[in-house]
Structure 1
Amino acid sequence: MAAQAELARFGSLKSKRVFITGGGSGIGESIVTGFAEQGAKVAFIDIAVDASLALCEKLAMAGYEKPVFRECDIRDIPALQEIMRTVAADIGDFDVLVNNAGNDQRHNPEEVTLEYWNDRIAINQRPMFFTCQAVIEGMKRRGGGAIINLGSTSWHIANGGYPVYTTTKAAVSGLTRGLARDLGPYNIRVNTVTPGWVMTERQLTMWVDEEGEKLIDQNQCLKGRVAPWHVARMVLFLASDDAAMCTAQEYIVDGGWA
C-alpha cells in the first residue's frame, strides 16, 4: 500500500459511525482499516471470527479505536438487523453503511438447484436491502448519511461460470439507484463501488493462476494489480463530505478492464 502520508485524509470521517458487512478479510478488511485510520467509529460483522478478532486487535495495537465486531451469518436477516440495532444503541446511529459481504462461489448453470439459487440470493442480494432498511431511520435522525454497496465487474464483462452471482451483482445497481431516489430527500446518498479482479488472498489462492495473470495483462488498461486498498479508498471518498453531491452512481475500480 502507498505510504499513509501520500494518501488523502478525509476530516469529515472523523468520529463518524460506520457499519460494514464482511469486514474480517479481503476487501472488507481494507475498508475496516481505512475507516479506522480516518478516526471513524467502526462496527463490522463477519462469519470469520478468528480473522475478525485479530483485525480488531491489530488496529487497537496500532493506536486506532478498536472496532466493534459481531459474528453474523447475513442469511439470517432478523439476527443481522438485531445486531445493527443493538450496536447502534451502543455507539449511536450510523452515518455510513458499507455492504461488502458476498461470495463468488463458482457454479455451472446446469447444476443450479432451487435450494442453491435461494442460498446465493440470501448471501449476495437479500442482505443489502435489509441492512439499508435498518439504517434509514437513524440516518434521518442524523440529517443524512452515505450507503455504499459493493458490486462486481463480472456481469459488465459477461463473465461465465457463476450466473447466480452475476445476477445478484447486476441487481446491486438497481438497488442503489432506486434507493438513491427514495432517500435523497433525507440527504442520504447511495452509491455502488464496483471492484474488478482484486488480488485478495482468496482470489490468489483459488483463481489467479498463470492464465489468470495473462488475462489481467490483456484486459486491464493499467499494468498493475487491483489491491483491496484501492477499492477501500473509493469507499472512503464516497462516505466523506467530499462526495456530498455524488449519489445514484457506480464507481468502477478495475484498472480499466470493464
Structure 2
Amino acid sequence: MHRLLPDPGRCAVVGVLNVTPDSFFDGGRYLDVDDALEHGEAMWRAGADLIDVGGESTRPGAARVDADTEISRILPVIKELAGAGVGVSVDTTRAAVAEAALAAGAIIVNDVSGGLADPDMARTVADAGVPFILMHWRGHSANMDTLAEYRDVVADVRDELAQRVDAALAAGVARDAIVIDPGLGFAKRAEHNWTLLRRLDVLRDMGFPVLIGASRKRFLGSLLAAEDGTPRSPDGREQATAAISALVAAAGAWGVRVHDVESSLDAVTVASALSDEEAP
C-alpha cells in the first residue's frame, strides 16, 4: 500500500468536510474558515484517518463553480489542517485545484470524475507522487441522473473503472497509489447502489483498495421513507450509514467516506473485531 495512504489495520474512516454553500447535507455549515477548521479538527480528534476537503458541491443537480472560487474556499482550510498535522485529501475534479491543494499540504487527490473531467488531472497526480482516488462517473451533477442506464451495473462499473485505472497508469500514476470508488449515487439509481454494495467482491478482485461513499445519501432516505413515502431526511440517515460502514468493512473495503466519523468508526471497529479470531 502507498506510504501516504492510511492503513490503520481496519477499514479507514474518511471524514467529509464540504466548504460549500450547497452540498446536500452540510452545505453552508462550514463555508466560514473557522467553522471548517473546527469541524475538521473535531473529526480528526474523533479518530478520522483522513479529512476530505472539497470546495464544489457534487450533489445531484448542483451547478459548477469556477476554479478560483473552489481554490479560495479550500486553500485556507487545507493549509491550517495540514499545518496542524491532519491528514488531508482534496475532493476536486480540476488539476489546477489539485495542484494548489497539494502545494498547501494535501496528500491525496480524490477525483469524483476518475480523471475524466480534466485531462491534466492524472499527470498532475503522477508528478506529485500521491495517491489517486478514482470514482466511477459518467457526467457532472447537473445531468448525471439522466445517465443511470446500465446493461449490467456491476460489470459496467467495473469495466469503466478499469478504463480510468488504465488511463491513470498510462499517465504515470503508480499502481499502489490507486484507490477505486464505485460512485454510489452518481449516475445511479437506488437499485444500482444496492447491487454494487452486494457485489463488492467484484471491485475488490480488481486488485485495488476500494472506498465506499454511502453517507446519508438519498438511496438510504428512500429505504427509510415514512409510510406516506416521504424520504427520511439526511440527518436521520446516520444509523443506516453506520450499518453500511460495518457491512462494507466486513466485505473488505479499504475505507468509508462519511459525515459522522464517530458512528462509522465504531461500526468498522466492530467489523474488524468480528473478523479477528484473537479479538477479546
Task: Pick the structure with more helix per residue.
Answer: 1
Higher relative contact order (Cα pairs below 8 Å, separated by 6+ residues): 1
